């Protein structure tokens, strides 16, 4: 995993007085994602004036749209499409098997990465005069009354994103479809529904008896 990221220019070897522990996370598809535990760095990082949109507000807004068809676009490795300023890189150092590395691209786990990513994608879409859509960081949804209308909107947004330097995997584009998932919720005819797999997961869970189990349960019911 480290070697692959290094060959892609996402990370590189370094010597830094800063260091944070690594925290690999297994993705739903079984692959591993390298994240770093930046809690100590996050505590001393000044706040930003902007933040990512509230997910619940986006859901309410999507409910208000006249939609029969939907399509979603998930940008591939969006954070890694964003260069990290050279003067900031030493602060993000981490060690793997005795060798210290740092990120050359926006890292996951840092408190402001989602906000920065969201704002840059938003700026690219605004500059390209993208059709009406909703965006949550690197997840985008378009809608319309016909499949062709939604297809054309999605095609234009993909073109804008590719031109801006973001990567789109075909497997990350869903629709046009009458039923689709966005922000962990199933959408059909402007209505929100809990996905079947989430319901099954909740019903299979035993009542929580510890703080860790309670956190897992709350995460499940929060989708």
**Bridge partner list, 70:** 143, 177
The pTM (predicted TM-score) of the whole model is 0.82
Taking the C-alpha atoms of residue 172 and residue 209, their distance in angstroms, rounded to an integer, is: 37
Give residue 220's pLDDT: 63
SS3 readout for 90-105: HHHCEEECCEEEEECE
Taking the C-alpha atoms of residue 56 and residue 222, their distance in angstroms, rounded to an integer, is: 11
Instruction: Answer whether CATH 3.30.70.270 is correct for domain 2-189.
Output: yes
Average pLDDT over the chain reads 89
- pLDDT tens for 76-107 read 999 999 999 999 999 999 999 899 999 999 99
Contacts of 41 (CB under 8 A, 6+ apart): 18, 20, 91, 92, 110
Angle subtended by helix axes 211-221 and 196-204, to nearest 10: 160
Taking the C-alpha atoms of residue 173 and residue 50, their distance in angstroms, rounded to an integer, is: 28
- pLDDT tens for 195-211 read 666 666 767 777 878 88
Residue intervals of the chain classified under CATH 3.30.70.270 are 2-189
**In this prediction, what percent of the chain has a pLDDT beyond 70?**
91
Does the pLDDT at position 20 exceed 70?
yes
- pLDDT tens for 128-173 read 999 999 999 999 999 999 999 999 999 999 999 999 999 998 899 9
CA–CA distances in Å: residue 176 to residues 36, 72, 73, 94, 98: 36, 8, 11, 42, 48
């Amino acid at each position: 995993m480290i070697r692959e990221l290094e060959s892609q220019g996402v990370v590189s070897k370094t010597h830094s007085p800063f260091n944070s522990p690594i925290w690999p996370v297994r993705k739903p598809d079984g692959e591993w994602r390298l994240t770093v535990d930046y809690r100590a760095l996050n505590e001393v990082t000044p706040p930003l004036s902007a933040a990512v949109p509230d997910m619940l507000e986006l859901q309410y807004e999507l409910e208000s749209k006249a939609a029969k068809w939907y399509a979603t676009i998930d940008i591939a490795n969006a954070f890694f499409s964003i260069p990290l300023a050279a003067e900031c890189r030493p602060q993000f150092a981490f060690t793997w098997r005795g060798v210290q590395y740092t990120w050359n691209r926006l890292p996951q786990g840092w408190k402001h990465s989602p906000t920065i990513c969201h704002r840059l994608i938003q700026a690219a879409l605004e500059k390209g005069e993208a059709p009406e859509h909703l965006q949550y960081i690197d997840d985008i949804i378009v809608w319309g009354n016909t499949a062709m209308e939604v297809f054309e909107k999605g095609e234009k947004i993909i073109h804008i994103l590719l031109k801006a330097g973001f990567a789109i995997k075909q497997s990350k584009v869903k629709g046009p479809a009458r039923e689709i998932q966005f922000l962990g919720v199933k959408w059909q005819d402007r209505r929100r529904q809990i996905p079947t797999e989430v319901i099954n997961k909740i019903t299979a869970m035993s009542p929580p008896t510890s703080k860790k189990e309670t956190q897992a349960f709350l995460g499940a019911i929060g989708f």
